[in-house]
Amino acid sequence: MINMQAQDIKPAIEQQAVDGVHMPYKCTLCPKSYGTTDDLKNHFDVSHLHKCFTCGSFFVSLFTLKIHQLMHTVKKQFECEICHKKFKTKTGLNNHMSVHSDKKPFQCPWCLKTYTRKAYFHIHMNRFHKSMISL
């Protein structure tokens, strides 16, 4: 799912000379051109981003917005039998269950620190051993 905030759209905006100097800012997603970066940004926000009116997140496609909006409407029907916390998906509940376990199957090969979740392990690797990964 692609989730974009307004400040993340800069890569989609590229400055080009179009018809001389009058319309130098061209949208990279369609043929339109604008005289100022503010006009181009406004065009991009209105024409190419879809906003979730519940939380304010932006999405490049209407499809990803609709998938995202399910997050706001789906009932939390998966309950942890240990602490009774509820989740919207079975995967969410399964990920949560690691907090109730002493198992830490993801171990850093350099400093031997262990993690309950693969995502936490990857964050650690990128933060502390990024130079080792790229070797």
* Domain membership of residue 82 as a residue range: 75-102
What CATH code is carried by the domain that includes residue 90?
A: 3.30.160
Q: State the total domains in the chain.
A: 3
83 lies in the same domain as 121: no
Element (H, E) at 27: strand 25-27
35 lies in the same domain as 15: yes
64 lies in the same domain as 20: yes
41 lies in the same domain as 94: no
Band (15; pLDDT cuts 50, 70, 90): very low
Q: What is the pLDDT of residues 34-48, one digit of tens each?
A: 888 888 888 877 787
- pTM, two decimals, is 0.41
12 lies in the same domain as 41: yes
Residues 6+ apart with CB under 8 A from 48: 12, 27, 29, 30, 60
Please give the Cα distance from 27 to 125 (Å, whole number). 37
The secondary structure of 57-120, three-state, reads: CEECCHHHHHHHHHHHHCCCCEECCCCCCEECCHHHHHHHHHHHCCCCCEECCCCCCEECCHHH
96 lies in the same domain as 135: no
Other CB atoms within 10 A of residue 44 CB: 22
114 lies in the same domain as 125: yes
Mean pLDDT of the chain: 81
In a domain, 1, yes or no: no
53 lies in the same domain as 86: no
In a domain, 13, yes or no: yes
Band (73; pLDDT cuts 50, 70, 90): confident
Please give the Cα distance from 55 to 69 (Å, whole number). 9
Cα atoms in the 13 Å half-sphere on the side-chain side of 83: 10
